[in-house]
Amino acid sequence: MSDDDAGAVPPGTDVEELRALARSLAREAGALVREGRPARVEVAATKSSAVDPVTAMDRASEELLRTRLAAERPDDAILGEEGDDVPGTSGLTWVLDPIDGTVNYLYGVSSYAVSVAVVAGPPDPERWTALAGCVHSVVDGRTWTAARGGGAERDGRALRVSAPPSLAQSLVGTGFGYAAERRARQAEVLAEVLPRVRDIRRLGAAAIDLCLVAEGALDLYYERGINAWDVAAGGLVAAEAGAWVGGLRGRGPSSTMTVAGAVPVVAELVALLEDAGADGREGVTRS
């Protein structure tokens, strides 16, 4: 496959069928996470830092998703947060976050979700073509889906982004990484953003944040350091609801920076983040 057709959609792909499968998988895993939550959740392991937890349920939810996909879509690849990459032959990759918002799940704070998406091309948000996705909020059952060119909806209601008059009147979602050095830099950027917006929300699940942008419950969202599985489904939901989803300095959404929100106000946030050097070297305070 050449770079030009890296995100090419295989002929015969039915994005509505993929949306339906993403929805049913996310709901089934969501039921497992909801019904299987013990009174006291234990940390099974840590990942990128001591405050980046994995629970037994992250693994069980991903195992369920992988088992279902192996049966229903054996030719597709899988990229999941908690397991090894599975290669495929179809040109499609399922991008899975078995629990987005694991810290909320651990503490019993209600914002956590199962996120299931399918993309064409390389499993890299800057290069893929997202085809379909579902974000299922585990505690309250809200379910957002999108299909490429087919719009975004939540539980049957079509979604449209908000139209804030200015950045100054925008409610902005964001999040922080798990590494201390990254957080120190994110705090500096936040100090530039906070005085210039209506307010900030840090809800703790990037996939839900992006869906809230889609339905106008957040005007804008930005975050450095999110992974492919955090953005795959929610990014498509936001884009299909009319949001611009991208990065800084002409780049696409990536772990360096992902920004989402309604045009034209999102451009004000992008300019502010560029000026703040939000995509710059970490561990170095801007002079």
Which residues make up the interface to ligand IPD (CB under 6 A)? 81, 97, 100-102, 175-177, 204-206, 223, 225-226, 230
The whole-angstrom separation of Cα 115 and Cα 94 is 10
Report the residue number, 52 or 150, with the smaller CB distance to ligand IPD.
52
- Minimum CB distance to ligand IPD, residue 102 (Å): 4
Query: For residues 98 and 26, is the Cβ–Cβ distance under 8 A?
Result: no
Report the residue number, 20 or 60, with the smaller CB distance to ligand IPD.
60
- Minimum CB distance to ligand IPD, residue 51 (Å): 10
- Minimum CB distance to ligand IPD, residue 149 (Å): 26
- Minimum CB distance to ligand IPD, residue 197 (Å): 18
Report the residue number, 8 or 180, with the smaller CB distance to ligand IPD.
180
- Minimum CB distance to ligand IPD, residue 226 (Å): 5
The CA-based dihedral angle spanning residues 176, 252, 128, 222, taken in that order and rounded to the nearest 10 degrees:
30
- Minimum CB distance to ligand IPD, residue 33 (Å): 12
* Nearest CA-CA partner of 280 in 181, 146, 210: 181
As a whole number of Å, the CA-based R_g of the chain is 18
The whole-angstrom separation of Cα 132 and Cα 151 is 10
Report the residue number, 15 or 32, with the smaller CB distance to ligand IPD.
32
- Minimum CB distance to ligand IPD, residue 54 (Å): 9
Report the residue number, 129 or 258, with the smaller CB distance to ligand IPD.
258
Report the residue number, 7 or 143, with the smaller CB distance to ligand IPD.
143
DSSP characters over 230-275 = HHHHHHHHHHHTT-EEE-STT--S-SS-EEEE-TTHHHHHHHHHHH
Query: For residues 107 and 113, is the Cβ–Cβ distance under 8 A?
Result: no
Report the residue number, 205 or 262, with the smaller CB distance to ligand IPD.
205
Query: For residues 83 and 70, is the Cβ–Cβ distance under 8 A?
Result: no
Determine the residue with CB nearest ligand IPD: 175
Query: For residues 213 and 261, is the Cβ–Cβ distance under 8 A?
Result: yes
Whole-Å CA distances, 20 to 28, 132, 134, 145, 201: 12, 9, 9, 9, 31
The whole-angstrom separation of Cα 55 and Cα 44 is 5
